[in-house]
Chain A
Amino acid sequence: MAALRGLIVVALLGGRVASAQPDPVHGRVTDATGKPVRDATISIAGSEATAKTDARGYYTVTAAAGTTLVIIADGFAAGLATAGAEDVVVLLAEEPASETITIESDPPPAQQGAVRIGRQELQRIPGTGNDLVRALNAMPGVASYPLPLGASGVVIRGSSPQDSKVLIDDFEVPALYHDIGFKSIVPAEAIDSLEYVPGGFDVAYGRAASGIVSLTTRPGSEQHAQQAELSAGDVGALAQGSLKRGRYMIAFRRSTIDMLLPALLPDDLDLSLTTVPRFYDEQFRFDYMLGKWNVRVSSLGSDDALELYASKDQNADKRFMNRTRFVRLTTAARYHDGPWTANLAVSGIAQQYTFERGLYQHLDVTAPALTGRLELMRTAERAGGLTDVAWRLGGELVGTRYGIDLAMPQDRREGEPAAGDDPMDTSSSYAGTVITKNVATWSAMAANLDPRIRATIGVRVDGYTRAQDVAAQPRGELAIKLTPKLLARLSAGGYSRPPEHQTELLETGLRGERSTQLIGGLAYEPSEGVRVQSSLYYTDRRRMITRDEMGVLANTGRGKTVGAELLGTLTRGPWFGWLAYAYSRSTRVDAPGEASRLFDYDQPHSVNVAGSYRLGRWQFGARFRLHSGLPMTPVDTAIFDSDENVYIPAYGEVNSSRAELHHQLDIRIDKSFKWGAVKMTKFIDIQNVYLNDSVVGYFYNFDYTERAAFRSLPILPTAGLRGEF
């Protein structure tokens, strides 16, 4: 078989070379059961260039449309595919089975309702300002708002931002966006793919009660290449290539707004910028083959800073300073031999958040953390009357040492209206160290009960040692192939997050929040490049951490979310299409006996329709979005506290009013051209082209007698230029 494989390779590599312009081609390699095949080698006919599949079986090669691709992986027969359409999937029959190659559209995502899209597709969604992570708000189930919401910036299926996890290369990062300009911390060119899992995620993921957003950085290519990009707000560069048996990718980016802003601010503005808002970020990744080990060393860092005085005189009590920075270093190794696979990883992060306001309020948190993770997987064709059996066992330990120096007003909890602004309020004070050690172990088994039915059952146990809390979370899924093109899935599971959000860290009596998710749905793939998936879900939340009447945090809240989602995608020839609709209703009960209220980010309706068409060197795209406004709590009246010189609002029913419906049209045009040896791409991305400045919220004046509408920007153009050489 190996000799035959070699013969095929030699024959094909000596074959014809497509005359069309080479372009990045994405695809995925799976085995006959749909499981990803990692480290498969993709060779391009007529070229010496090769590429490897990643942990999820995805690959990217640069090849002209029509070029033949050869796929080789240990334990499998060689496979063939044709470059051209994106998302080509090559199913390889295991040796010594037939060498039949089946080409289909994208395989079913790992979980019902999940979406995974590569960089090329992300770049075709208009309205992101060329920031691919902002394509997240085109996903069904993600709340749309002009600003990133909460700590992570992402609200998924009616849950608080801290209930979901943001992972980059499988490890958590403290924030997905820079503070300034809402740019994501990973530039477009350093992203390989974005995976959005709104619920029902695998036992390997934990400490999250809602969903997962997982970004995968781009592994370096076999060929040396450099890119530079200048766009509104930042400038960046990326270099990639191979070194012996390894491949590297290194990228760096810096904001440019700090260079422009001083010139743009009017002279009569009562403002003094001492550290103009600026950010840096870096990404590094080195993948190396060492026998049967695939080793990856990576680094990801971000640094945001801003210091200003809200006065020309630079009075100390008008000072405002913020710095957010972190660097994460990860070493991961994967071993694969026959039925055995092992994944090991060690990752450390150093992070600091500093905030100072005036003479009294400050917050300085350092949180170095170390994570160790191990997962073993054993596969078997048959076992106990089941077929295609996969069993996994994993464990993880995360230790974090928080150094906290805090003198701030009480942090606002979800559902609480904003407090009046008092720069002297330091009612929440603490100075000391908090250490958390979170351990987890999980096991799962997946098997075919029948050629059409695949079941996955597992359990994850999280131990939050500081909270003295153990969360056992059984999870399972049943996937039934109703027809060759129609798949039904039903999943149920328990999820939890530790009590470590903001001042939860300062309490010792809190336990982790819990949720139970039920998800059912259908996935229909009528033809290659076309997929329609729909989901119904119900999430029940318990032990939610709320503040009682005495201002003490306690696990007294409950919540539930019901929703429905629909996503249709088209990737065919020059066309790319995207249709997403989500309905949800998310409510909370803050304490037993209290009335149910709407969740702060409840967004009943959200529609995203996008289309893109390639015509030669041009690409044209448009996107229409429509979504409900977020709930608001009105102010009925206010009492003036004369001694404190502050108005104390009396709020109406929590979240009893709502901002208005918003809709907008975004367009994007790309054009590529050659400039000497450099391949250039210029783009313009214009958001809200028909100037719909809807009200997205309100600010009250000092005595709450007037409210100011906070409107979305009527139009926001972003332009940029990228060079590849």
Chain B
Amino acid sequence: MRAALLLVVGCIGCVGCVDPVAARWQLDHDHIVAARATPPRVMPGEVAILDALVAHAGAATSIDSPEQADAPLAPEALQGMVAEEAGVWQLTVPSAETLAAARSELGLAASAAIPLDIVMQFAGPEPMVVKKTVWLGDRADNPTMPAVFADAQPMPDELAIALGRDVHVEVLATGRVSWLTSCGELFQDDLPRAFVRAREPCEGELAVVVRDDMGGVVWQVRPIRAQ
């Protein structure tokens, strides 16, 4: 830990220089922002739809279906649950008996939810791979989007900010929060209360993603303009 500290402090300014790279909050960069199963906890016989919020370099975000999806580590009893139907990838939960067999195979308690890791691949300049855990034998929906504010006012349909001025954005969420933007810079991007600042005129998007403890996720994407 001491060595790690030395490295951190050294990088702060005492020893070396680091070239710039894309930050986690940048939307103008090809990557998956969040994968979603709707619903994230599924009872026997139900279907969960798989998709993701995808960020693109030089383009707006999109909600995409995966090119491929699978559950490569699924127990034998749960093989073949993930399939494509009409361009949409979905997971169909088998019967309660099949889930019971899977619990037995995994050594889980009789009423326990079964975690199933789904691996999805999305198209991009380089294929993008994401893992999403879906819980079988339980029921929960994705959360609803909490209230979002900009400078203490409800988030407008399009956020306009002045150059060089910090604009505080806040989401009233208890779960884990991620803010992303493709216009300006974001600070405290993993806190409910962040702020955005632009030094040059730009247009793009401001996104906020909220994850709960049940595997649920919800996001909001709004246009943002700095002038």
Spell out A's residues near B (CB within 8 Å).
146-151, 153, 161, 175, 177, 179-182, 268, 270, 277, 306, 311-313, 315, 317-318, 322, 324, 353, 355, 363, 408, 411-412, 502, 637-643, 645, 648, 693, 696, 699-703, 705-714
Contact = CB atoms under 8 A, between A and B. Distances in A.
B63 interface: no
Contacts of A640: 31-32, 35, 128-131
A707 B19 CA distance: 8
Contacts of A502: 1
- Between B16, B129, B215, the greatest number of chain A beta carbons within 10 A of the residue's beta carbon is seen for B16
B108 interface: no
A504 B179 CA distance: 39
B133 interface: yes
A705 B1 contact: no
A355 B5 contact: yes
Contacts of A706: 21-22
A422 B1 CA distance: 15
Given A146-B15, A708-B20, A710-B18, A179 B130 contact: no
Given A151-B2, A639-B119, A640-B32, A708 B9 contact: no
Contacts of A322: 5
A652 to B, nearest CB: 16
Contacts of B19: 708-709, 711
Contact of B3 (A151, A315, A701, A710): A151
A702 B189 CA distance: 13
B55 to A, nearest CB: 10
A377 to B, nearest CB: 37
A147 B132 contact: no
A639 B197 CA distance: 30
A149 B3 contact: yes
B193 A313 contact: yes
Contacts of B131: 639-643, 648
B147 interface: no
B176 interface: yes
Contact of B16 (A153, A411, A710): A710
- Between B7, B119, B132, B178, the greatest number of chain A beta carbons within 10 A of the residue's beta carbon is seen for B7
19 contacts: A149-B3, A153-B6, A179-B2, A179-B5, A180-B14, A315-B188, A315-B191, A315-B193, A502-B1, A642-B36, A642-B131, A643-B215, A645-B178, A701-B22, A706-B22, A707-B21, A708-B18, A709-B19, A713-B17
B56 interface: no
Contacts, number: 134
B32 A277 contact: no
A645 to B, nearest CB: 6
Contacts of A638: 129
Contacts of B129: 637-640
B223 to A, nearest CB: 24
Interface of B: 1-7, 9-11, 14-24, 29-32, 34-36, 52, 119, 126, 128-133, 176, 178, 187-188, 191, 193, 197, 209, 211, 215, 217
B32 A150 contact: no
Contacts of A412: 4
B148 to A, nearest CB: 18
B16 A146 contact: yes
Contact of A312 (B24, B187, B209): B187
Contacts of A696: 16
State the 8 A-B residue pairs at the shortest beta-carbon distance, nearest first: A642-B35, A701-B21, A702-B24, A640-B130, A706-B21, A708-B19, A270-B187, A708-B21
A306 B197 CA distance: 28
A7 to B, nearest CB: 59
- Between A175, A180, A318, the greatest number of chain B beta carbons within 10 A of the residue's beta carbon is seen for A180
A653 B95 CA distance: 43
A638 B128 CA distance: 9
Nearest to B15: A146
Nearest to A150: B3
Given A311-B191, A640-B129, A696-B16, 7 more contacts: A150-B3, A317-B191, A411-B1, A642-B132, A643-B131, A702-B24, A711-B19
- Between A322, A353, A648, A702, the greatest number of chain B beta carbons within 10 A of the residue's beta carbon is seen for A702
Contacts of B23: 701-702
A642 B52 contact: yes
Contacts of B29: 703, 705
A180 B9 contact: yes
Contacts of A151: 2-3
A301 to B, nearest CB: 17
B10 A147 contact: yes
Contacts of B21: 699-701, 706-708
A128 B2 CA distance: 22
Nearest to B14: A181
- Between A181, A640, A710, the greatest number of chain B beta carbons within 10 A of the residue's beta carbon is seen for A640
Nearest to A365: B1
Nearest to B134: A643
- Between B2, B21, B29, B131, the greatest number of chain A beta carbons within 10 A of the residue's beta carbon is seen for B2
A182 B6 contact: yes
Contacts of B215: 643
B3 A642 contact: no
Nearest to B7: A147
B127 to A, nearest CB: 9
Contacts of A270: 187-188
Nearest to A703: B31
A60 to B, nearest CB: 32
B11 A645 contact: no
Nearest to A161: B3
- Between B4, B9, B10, the greatest number of chain A beta carbons within 10 A of the residue's beta carbon is seen for B9
Given A315-B191, A706-B21, A363 B1 contact: yes
Contact of A713 (B6, B15, B133, B191): B15
A182 B197 CA distance: 34
- Between A312, A315, A642, A696, the greatest number of chain B beta carbons within 10 A of the residue's beta carbon is seen for A642
A313 B29 CA distance: 27
A147 to B, nearest CB: 5
Nearest to A271: B12
B31 A705 contact: yes
Contacts of A268: 197
B18 to A, nearest CB: 5
Contacts of A317: 191
Contacts of A639: 119, 129-131
Nearest to B34: A642
A639 B72 CA distance: 14
Given A182-B6, A318-B191, A642 B18 contact: no
Nearest to A641: B131
A353 B3 contact: no
Contacts of A648: 131
A412 to B, nearest CB: 8
